[in-house]
Amino acid sequence: MQEATRSPQADASAQAFIQRWQGVSASELSTAQSFVRELCDLLGVPAPHPTPEQDYMFERPITFHHGDGSSSAGRVDCYRRGHFVLEAKKLKTGPHTRGFDDALLRARAQAEGYARALPAAEGRPPFLLVVDVGNVIELYSEFSRSGATYTPFPDPRSHRLLLADLARSEVRDTLRRIWSDPDSLDPSRASARVTRQVATQLAALARSLERSGHRPDHVAAFLTRALFSMFAEDVELLPEGAFLRLLQTHREQPATLQQMLRVVWADMDRGGFSAALASPVLRFNGKLFKQPNNDGYSLLLNQEQIDGLILAANSNWREVEPAIFGTLLERALDPAERHALGAHYTPRAYVEPRSNT
């Protein structure tokens, strides 16, 4: 996700908005449209307005078609084609109660019903917004627009935004992008971007290692062990940050790092306490970490190559897509290098391991 731009003026405007709407007790009908208009002003996006296309407006009319052949009319509180359906409420039950949560879930179901009832030619928007005016905004997404179920965005722990959260620039930025460029929030796009970046970095490192005289098959196996270790620490199969710290600690001692990597990977093959990481590690099945005494198991790197590994390890490996990683890396290599290296870089068999304590 892009870093939000902060400014004292924007922060002050957000605080004024929060104070103005905190604890508003008026009815849904009298407050919802005013709330959305002022929210648009805070975000710096256009407010809804009636158009012949009915593509961005309050009270957007729709028709429900029922299984028995009948139909009924409905209206979406606020709709922006290709962006969102917004359902607004003014709940009388207090927050943090079962009744409050149930009411918001019913509102979410209502919003999803509206999204499904939109004309097929318009498609379904990627977002649902459920608003309890003056209280919370809940976000749900379905980026495939295929008719699948909308799910909490970005996840069930953080999809509910409290009114006070609007003081945070990153929250305002997320809402602004829902209004202006919702597809930029699609996690699969972030995954592809990070994967391309990491693939390019490792391809450059592979070329450097070969120029140093290392065999292509040794380079391929070494980098596969390294990238698996980076992924493992980011998904908490290894202690958090342990592999990155190992690289940083021995950055200026290449010969020591070569031996420490050999020790760590042998420990991952056996499982148990790892002196190199000063922590217990899981036992990983498969052949990736076998035969630590073989030539090429752990390569002697120069300073620039170690920095290349550190740069890759600093990436968010949760966002690296293993299914396309090999292909992207192959494309980053010269044709001759693809033949020698490409197949060895696809980590599907390793990135989703079975592990035993």
**What does the DSSP assignment read for 177-209?**
HHHH-GGGG-HHHHHHHHHHHHHHHHHHHHHHH
- The reply to whether 102 falls in a domain is yes
Tell me whether residue 42 is in a domain.
yes
Instruction: Examine the domain organization and report whether 171 and 202 are in the same domain.
Output: no
Q: Are residues 92 and 21 in the same domain?
A: yes
Other beta carbons within 10 Å of 275: 10
Confidence of residue 323 (pLDDT cuts 50, 70, 90): low
Q: Quick check: 21 and 164 in contact, CB under 8 A?
A: no
Q: Which residue has the tokens 């499982």?
A: 271
The yes-or-no verdict on residue 346 having pLDDT over 80 is no
Measured distance CA(44)–CA(33) in Å, rounded: 16
Question: Helix, strand, coil % (nearest 5) of the chain?
Answer: 50, 15, 35
Are both 139 and 231 inside the same structural domain? no
Q: Are both 69 and 151 inside the same structural domain?
A: yes
Same domain, 209 and 171: no
Average pLDDT of span 178-182: 96
Same domain for 191 and 181: no
- Looking at residue 26, what is its pLDDT? 67
Please count the CA atoms within 13 angstroms of the CA of 35 that sit on its side-chain side.
30
Q: Are residues 281 and 312 in the same domain?
A: yes
- In single-letter form, the type of residue at position 130 comes to V
Among residues 161, 185, 209, the one where a domain terminates is: 185
- Residue 29 banded pLDDT, cuts 50, 70, 90: low
Between 224 and 41, name the one with better pLDDT. 41
Separation of alpha carbons 133 and 28, rounded Å: 7
Is residue 111 in some structural domain? yes
Interval 22-29 mean pLDDT: 71
In a domain, 154, yes or no: yes
Quick one: 150 and 246 in the same domain? Answer: no
- Ramachandran class of 22: left when φ > 0, alpha when ψ lies in -120 to 50, beta otherwise: beta
Report which DSSP code applies to 215. Answer: -
Nearest to 89 by CA among 117, 73, 109: 109
Do 44 and 160 share a domain, yes or no?
Answer: yes
Q: Give me the mean pLDDT over the 126-154 stretch.
A: 92
Q: 150: which 2 tokens?
A: 């909308």
- Name the domain count of the chain: 2
Residue 216 lies in a domain: yes
Q: 179 and 32, same structural domain?
A: yes
Asked which of 119-133, 182-196, 248-262, 325-339 is least confident by mean pLDDT, the reply is 325-339
User: Quick check: is 3 in a domain?
Assistant: no
Of the ranges 95-104, 155-164, 246-255, which one carries the lowest mean pLDDT score?
95-104
Q: Structural domain of residue 31, as residue ranges?
A: 8-185
Q: Is residue 1 part of a domain?
A: no
Cβ count within 10 A of residue 296: 13
Q: Is residue 2 part of a domain?
A: no
CA distances from 340 to 204, 205, 215, 309 (A): 15, 15, 10, 21
Q: In sequence order, what are the residues at sequence separation of 6 or more whose Cβ sits closer than 8 angstroms to the Cβ of residue 293? A: none
Listed residues 185, 217, 247: the one ending a domain: 185
Q: Are residues 335 and 305 in the same domain?
A: yes
| Those residues with Cβ within 8 angstroms of residue 301's Cβ, 6 or more apart along the chain or in another chain | 209, 254, 257, 258, 309
Could you tell me if 211 and 346 lie in one domain? yes
Where among 165, 185, 205 does a domain terminate?
185
pLDDT band at 242 (very low <50, low <70, confident <90, very high): very high
For residues 73-101, give the mean pLDDT. Answer: 90
